[in-house]
Structure 1
Amino acid sequence: MWKMITFFARFYTPFRFVEFLRRTKGKIHFVPRLLAIYYCLRDTDTPKAVKLVLMGALGYVILPFDIVPDIFPAVGWLDDAAVIAAALKFAGAYIKPEHLEKVRHVIPFAKCDW
């Protein structure tokens, strides 16, 4: 499992993440969750093992060709949503209220009640 996480973590960079958000332009409903993961990843209090899992999750989402390629409308994002949900469950204790505040600052009407 760690081998797969580190494989996908290689595809994550802050620049690629921002470009991914720019390309999707709100086409996916879990952008607030992605931002929460991003802010948790940037937090110095987050343990390195958790950061690796979060980087792996973001790398998986950024990569256009994964288990179900994102070129298939709707269905292509289901596996990405599942990976994000698993990453949030894994790192839930490390996602702080200030991370969610930053998400609300970027997306004012974002629901952060997961």
Structure 2
Amino acid sequence: MSTKRIEDVPFEEVHEVQKYGTYYSDNRFWKKVERVAKKVGATVLLPVFTLYYTLQDEKVPVKHKAYIIGALGYFILPVDLIPDGILPVIGFTDDIAVMTLVINLIKDSITPEIKARANGRVAEIMGTDQV
């Protein structure tokens, strides 16, 4: 399976993700995680924390961070294509799709340490030893 490079993604597709960045803030992020963590489980939380911890890494290119902020902004956005509150897990399908797109675009920036932090945080929230 070939990996999309950011340069190969159509501008319209990237622009769509980036426009949600205005909804991102650290405070909103943690409020959303608190509110939905137990309902959605590791399937949603793992990509969320993978992106969050990648965003925190100072070695990640600014271009990648812009995509991450857009994806996390979409996650925080109160109005989705599929409302989160109506069908808890199914309502996050669009969020997962956006996060998966961005993870595929920036996967070269996701280190084993970031993956370990994300897994550890999800396990902590879910009250398990591992994800």
Paired residues, what number?
A: 110
For the pair 1:8 / 2:29, whether they are aligned, the reply is no
The structure richer in helix per residue is: 2
- Partner residue in 1 for 2:7: none
Match of 2:91 among 76, 97, 103: 76
Q: Which runs of 5+ in 1 are unaligned?
A: none
Q: Which runs of 4+ in 1 moved over 2 A?
A: 1-7
**What fraction of aligned residue pairs are identical, expressed as a percent?**
27
Pairwise mapping of residues 1-114 of structure 1 onto structure 2 (< 5 A)? 1=12, 2-28=14-40, 29-73=43-87, 74-106=89-121, 107=123, 108-110=129-131
Q: Which structure would you say has the larger Rg?
A: 2
Q: Could you tell me whether the CA contact under 8 Å between 1:64 and 1:71 is conserved in 2?
A: no
Secondary structure in 1 matching 2:23: coil
Deviations 1:15-59 (A, max 9, x none): 111111100023222201110100101111111111010100010
Structure 2 regions of 5+ residues with no counterpart?
A: 1-11, 124-128
